[in-house]
Structure 1
């Protein structure tokens, strides 16, 4: 117990009568508390007024692995008399990948619940992805979904992300996509973009971390190989008059070309950046190239090419299967 959500917490004890993972407490409008938990089969029970004990029976299988693709990560909210049970699900990518946040609804906190659909899917946010956990929450009159993506090159390291969500008249929630902008509006391309904010990656590319001595840790994209790509959504290019693209590469790199596309890996090509090989002579390099004029809102997609496929370094050969380069940031410019 504590008088603040930041603690200090005291008198911790195991609640008798429950066993499982990912506990979540929900307090209804009448002040009644409920505890939800479970893996594979969602469980729930009323809590005593002090929230320290179960009151009454445990309700088993509120949602099930087989029928509702329930894995774990219970979270309950209430809106307009409807209870929303948000959870991590394997419904899309196989039993070992609960990358999808699904939801079910009921008119009572302990159900019965009916599966309603997918809210967000973090598949593609990193090659070290294993699951997704989150919730929905209203803030200043707007509703959002909070979820996570992998980071630091590890399955156990996760970064919190947020996207706005929208309800239909029947109480259903429209599925939303992962973006880089999150709860904010489209991004100004003239502001520096950290590469680790990529919302979609294909191939071996992943978010990694370096820890400079006596400095702030820095995230970057690593393990990039020939043919990989990464997406950043969305940029507003109107009235920006961009003419150049500049990026920072960290550490050694092989001969490579970075193609700059709009909206998809095969979308409009607005520029190419040829990168000479570096064998560790310097800690980092800054590269710049011109780009074609762009208007409107677009995703920026970088496609990485190696093995001397194009550019002035066509005769230099990258080592097959090894990392081409590591990308720390990029920015568009007016000159």
Structure 2
């Protein structure tokens, strides 16, 4: 299943910084997030901002809220259309490249992967006014320091960037050939001397395809599918990276939405899986997301440090609020947070603390290994007087030792509750 369930996400853009994998995504609005109430049953795209998630184990993901939005571009005229982005790091700064459909491609800059991101130009980085094909930018910085940006639907374009990453070097090039079944969403990277251009291919449904070259300028030779098209999906979009000795492809599907309805709406969710390279650099095909095993957890989670409540492997039905300091909200009876691979150690935990704010209350039952697993503690979050007034609630814990999945199960929920962070002792 998709790696995020608290928001609808699409267009994954992974970025590895040290021990952490950051994942930037676009954001399909759920019905209550659509700004025009008259459009809340519509099937189209309603996309206003871009979200950030992070992981250190590929099993549990932490939400960081919206790091940028269309409103960060003062020159844009549309209030909808926050489509596929990519963020890259250079010289201690983070550059977020975003399509403003019909107005070219813009760039935002930040000193931190968490933002805030600001527009250094006040105008598009690239804008081919003769058409509306300036979408889905991907940027790669080669070993010699030269940066390249590819983009485009239905044609493929590329340009070199200057060292400042906010201006172009030379002219825009259009591939004078069409990559096999290319649609959009290119993803440019290099691995073991081979250059790769992955992309959304075929349509519709879309699959994940890729091409290879000996140069970032091409020529590109199509190599087939990473994931074949299937009627279980409609759209796809690749993001590929190496992390902690493993290779991953990220893409998108409608599998979280399908938990509620098979009536089509543009409410997508990001999934990921490991990929394997052959000796010649080609990529072995992988099956559809639902036909795969969950991602292998790379390291256990330490429960004796502060753990953000919005760190989870599963949290369907819950929601995330806030920017930067995000919290879990929309807590209802029967919902739960699953945290995979929690290492309580041989001695085990003695107590549990959760920081929360509430105009209401809820009971949090701590269980091991399943929603109905052994109870190791029960905590009650009580009224704090305001959803902005946080306090710590504690309970004793018994039987939490060794390596287990942890389930935070909610019951007797009422009012507005905000869960901030938790920790065992």
Aligned mates of 1:76, 1:234 — CA distance in 2:
33
What are the Cα deviations for residues 149-182 of structure 1, in whole angstroms up to 9, with x where unaligned? xxxxxxxxxxxx9x99563546438778579x8x
Residue in 1 that maps onto 2:368: 262
Q: Determine if the alignment matches structure 1 residue 135 to structure 2 residue 245.
A: no
- Match among 220, 242, 249 for residue 349 of structure 2: 242
1:180-199 matched pairs, under 5 angstroms = 185-199=299-313
- Number of positions where the alignment pairs a residue of Structure 1 with one of Structure 2: 267
Residue in 1 that maps onto 2:134: 20
What are the Cα deviations for residues 90-133 of structure 1, in whole angstroms up to 9, with x where unaligned? 99xx98xx9xxx74333435332412139xxxxxxxxxxxx997
RMSD: 4.8
Q: Determine if the alignment matches structure 1 residue 52 to structure 2 residue 170.
A: yes
Residue in 2 that maps onto 1:285: 391
Equivalent residues of 1:178, 1:199 under 8 A apart: no
Aligned mates of 1:114, 1:35 — CA distance in 2:
22
What are the Cα deviations for residues 192-236 of structure 1, in whole angstroms up to 9, with x where unaligned? 111122342111x112117xxxxxx52111121122222223322
Aligned mates of 1:147, 1:297 — CA distance in 2:
30
Aligned mates of 2:194, 2:208 — CA distance in 1:
12
Deviation, structure 1 residue 332: 0.8
- Match among 317, 329, 333 for residue 421 of structure 2: 329
- Match among 211, 216, 220 for residue 106 of structure 1: 211
Q: Determine if the alignment matches structure 1 residue 271 to structure 2 residue 377.
A: yes
Aligned mates of 1:295, 1:112 — CA distance in 2:
51
Residue in 1 that maps onto 2:331: 224
Equivalent residues of 2:379, 2:394 under 8 A apart: yes
Q: Quick one: structure 1 residues 117 and 305, their matched pair in 2 at CA, closer, same or farther if it must change by over 3 Å?
A: same
Equivalent residues of 2:187, 2:197 under 8 A apart: yes
Deviation, structure 1 residue 252: 2.0
Equivalent residues of 1:106, 1:112 under 8 A apart: yes
Q: Quick one: structure 1 residues 207 and 106, their matched pair in 2 at CA, closer, same or farther if it must change by over 3 Å?
A: same
- Match among 189, 193, 198 for residue 77 of structure 1: 189
Equivalent residues of 2:160, 2:170 under 8 A apart: yes
| SS of alignment partner, residue 304 of structure 2 | coil
1:310-325 matched pairs, under 5 angstroms = 318=414, 322-323=415-416, 325=417
1:191-210 matched pairs, under 5 angstroms = 191-203=305-317, 205-209=318-322
What are the Cα deviations for residues 57-114 of structure 1, in whole angstroms up to 9, with x where unaligned? 444464456xxxxxx54212233465544457999xx98xx9xxx7433343533241
* Structure 1 residue runs without a partner (length 5+): 66-71, 119-130, 149-160, 211-216, 308-317
Deviation, structure 1 residue 191: 0.7
Q: Quick one: structure 1 residues 220 and 112, their matched pair in 2 at CA, closer, same or farther if it must change by over 3 Å?
A: same
Equivalent residues of 2:151, 2:157 under 8 A apart: no
Structure ID, larger Rg: 1
Equivalent residues of 2:157, 2:173 under 8 A apart: yes
TM-score (norm 2): 0.48
Q: Quick one: structure 1 residues 296 and 17, their matched pair in 2 at CA, closer, same or farther if it must change by over 3 Å?
A: farther
Aligned mates of 2:158, 2:138 — CA distance in 1:
12
Residue in 1 that maps onto 2:38: none
Deviation, structure 1 residue 36: 3.0
Equivalent residues of 1:48, 1:55 under 8 A apart: no
Q: Quick one: structure 1 residues 191 and 22, their matched pair in 2 at CA, closer, same or farther if it must change by over 3 Å?
A: same
* Structure 2 residue runs without a partner (length 5+): 1-89, 94-108, 110-119, 162-167, 229-234, 253-269, 287-291
